Amino acid sequence: MSSNDFQSVVEQHTSFVYNVAYRMMNNAQDAEDITQETFLSAYRGWASFRGGSSVSTWLYRIAVNACLMRLRKEKRARTSTQQDYDDTVVIDGIADPSDNPEGIALHSELRQETEQAISELSPDLRAAVVLRDVQQLSNAEAAAALGITVSSLKARLHRGRVLLRKRLERYVEIPS
């Protein structure tokens, strides 16, 4: 594969790799660094990429591994520096924001609380939730990106979702 092929891969996947890194690191500067590290590692390994998985799965795995290595190295709490993002976590039972000011304020508060709650999950649970619920990869794609089985992914997702629901319970509607 040529360097032009690699350039088109970078152009096609930069935004997605950055989003994964941002949600894992919860910091824009770290996400930019991880994105660069991901594509540098991918470039170095481009000649040996055999296509056993899709390019996107390969890149997501590189990005998640880079995030996990950095998180393990730093082992410190992070705070969110970015208020808005395009994707939202899919959690059942959360009331939709309405057009009134109270609804808009609640939605904004929920978004901030959700970001904070995700950042407080352990790196393994956070990676599963981000890839599956935020980035909306399939179970198979998320498991491949993390290098785990689908059943392991489902277990991590369950634990992560339970913790998120507990943390966000005041925003979740309780069915009667």
The answer to whether position 48 is within a domain reads: yes
121-138 pLDDT, tens digit per residue, is 998 899 899 888 888 888
The DSSP 8-state label assigned to residue 170 in this structure reads G
Assigned token pair, 52:
């056993």
Which residues share a beta bridge with 172? 94
Inside any domain, residue 176: no
What is the pTM for the complete model shown? 0.58
Instruction: Determine, yes or no, domain membership for 47.
Output: yes
pLDDT band at 54 (very low <50, low <70, confident <90, very high): confident
For residue 26, tell me if it sits in a domain: yes
Range of the structural domain that residue 125 is part of: 3-171
CATH of the domain at 153: 1.20.140.160
52 in a structural domain = yes
Token duo for residue 64:
């998640």
Name the least confident of 15-24, 78-87, 103-112.
Answer: 78-87
- Report how many domains make up the chain: 1
In a domain, 37, yes or no: yes
